[in-house]
Amino acid sequence: MKKFVFKLQKVLDYRFEIEEKKKDEFAKAQKKLLSEKNKLESLIERKK
């Protein structure tokens, strides 16, 4: 039973790690997208 619990905990830890990585990657992508959007808006404003 201990082996099963250990393996289950290992799987849960791995799953948590993957979820955290996804959240971090999404936040970075969202930040980059917002940055690019702001750059484009500032370029458009300069051309007016």
Domain regions of the chain by residue span: 19-48
Tokens of 4: 């099963």
Only one residue has tokens 């290992």, namely 10
Radius of gyration of the chain (CA): 21
pLDDT, position 48: 77
pLDDT score for 35 = 98
Distance CA 25, CA 17 (A): 12
- Pairwise CA distance, residues 18 & 15, whole Å: 5
pLDDT by 10s per residue, the chain, length 48: 888 888 999 999 999 999 999 999 999 999 999 999 999 999 999 987
Give which of 16, 38, 9, 41 is closest to 1, Cα–Cα.
Answer: 9
